[in-house]
Amino acid sequence: MEFVTEPHGDALAIKVSGRMDAVTAPEFEQACQKQIEAGARKIVTDLSGLEYISSAGLRSILATAKKLKGVGGEIRFCGLSGMVQEVFSVSGFASMFKIHDTLSDALGG
Amino acid sequence: MDRLQLPATLDQLEPARQFIMDAAERAGVPMASQVKLDLVLEEALVNVIHHAYGDAGGTMELRCLERVHNGQRLFVAEIRDRGPSFDPFDAKPPDLDADLDDRPVGGLGIHFIRQMADDAGWRRENDENVLHLGFALGPVLE
């Protein structure tokens, strides 16, 4: 799994690619934790390059979302497709979070 | 039947996955089902790795076989451990409508197994927990 972070105004875009599984998911959580400590409050996670996510990945996302909410922040998602979209749907995450088609949609509004 | 025994540790997730996914491909599991197998397999393996044994650790055994179930030919992956008897299907289903504050961190793995495998189950056999994950070979019969 790889991620690239890019500031967009008051938001931080994190583009995740590869596989978010039980081995790699903690890396995502730690990277987000670092950004929150550095002051990030609005994180947009671009999952268009993500090939695979398991419940361990969702757990890291949920933990990150709770931390952000605790400091008055928010996490949004964009670029879901294939099995990642199905996992978000089957888990109920698709209705719990703000999901957008594209990064620019997620950054607006 | 192919089988492989590995230490039940997280660093064995990838070799365990390779073993099962290679067997699934050879057996002719359709690509759409391979994607689902990949997911439910991780969920099953991680359960064993995290919960089957205490600090002492232990092993997990993987078996791949083919079986006919209700007239349907299935590829079956079995994950076996020697931990205390535990039926993961006893777990209460997660509340999928809970909002962020009330969402427990966890409980989704077994939900994915229920939803995505064509056939799944648990049995206790010779002091082993045996979880099986079955995927149809050819069109699914309704």
Q: What are the backbone dihedrals phi and psi of residue A66, each rounded to the nearest 5 degrees, phi first?
A: -65, -40
Summarised one tens digit per residue, pLDDT across range B60-78 is 999 999 999 888 999 999 9
Residues sharing a CB contact under 8 Å with residue B55, sequence separation 6 or more, in sequence order: none
Summarised one tens digit per residue, pLDDT across range A14-50 is 999 999 999 999 999 999 999 999 999 999 999 999 9
Using a CB-CB cut-off of 8 Å, the residues of chain B touching A61 are: none
Q: What is the pLDDT of residue B91?
A: 81
Summarised one tens digit per residue, pLDDT across range B90-127 is 988 788 888 888 877 667 999 999 999 999 999 999 99
Residues sharing a CB contact under 8 Å with residue A12, sequence separation 6 or more, in sequence order: A5, A6, A35, A40, A42, A43, A44
Q: Which residue of B has its CA nearest to A92?
A: B96
Measured CA distances, A22 to A74, B29, B50, B91, B95 (Å): 24, 24, 11, 20, 22
Summarised one tens digit per residue, pLDDT across range B82-100 is 999 999 999 887 888 888 8
Q: Which residue in A22, A95, A96 is closest to B42 by CB distance? A: A22
Q: What is the pTM of this model?
A: 0.93
User: What mean pLDDT comes out for the span A52-67?
Assistant: 96
Residues sharing a CB contact under 8 Å with residue A59, sequence separation 6 or more, in sequence order: A25, B105, B106, B108
Q: Where are the alpha helices (DSSP H) in chain B?
A: 13-27, 31-51, 108-116
Is the Cα torsion angle A69, A71, A72, A77 positive or negative in sign? negative
At B57, the pLDDT band (50, 70, 90 cuts) reads: very high
Summary mean pLDDT of chain A = 96
Residues sharing a CB contact under 8 Å with residue A39, sequence separation 6 or more, in sequence order: none
Which of B40, B102, B112 should we substitute to test contact with A (largest number of A Cβ atoms within 10 Å)? B112
Using a CB-CB cut-off of 8 Å, the residues of chain A touching B39 are: 52, 54, 83, 87
Token pair for A41 = 């409050």
Q: What is the pLDDT of residue B139?
A: 66
Summarised one tens digit per residue, pLDDT across range B6-41 is 999 999 999 999 999 999 999 999 999 999 999 999
**First-to-final CA distance of chain A:** 29
Q: How many CB pairs under 8 A join A and B?
A: 62
B97 to chain A nearest CA, in Å?
7
Q: What is the pLDDT of residue A45?
A: 97
- Check whether A85 has a pLDDT greater than 70: yes
CB–CB of A59 and B106 under 8 A?
yes
Spatial separation of the C-alpha atoms in residues A38 and A36, rounded to whole Å:
5
Summary mean pLDDT of chain B = 93
CB–CB of A92 and B96 under 8 A?
yes
- Going across the sheet that includes A98-100, the strands are A2-8, A11-20, A42-53, A74-78, A98-100
Is the Cα torsion angle B88, B7, B81, B25 positive or negative in sign? positive
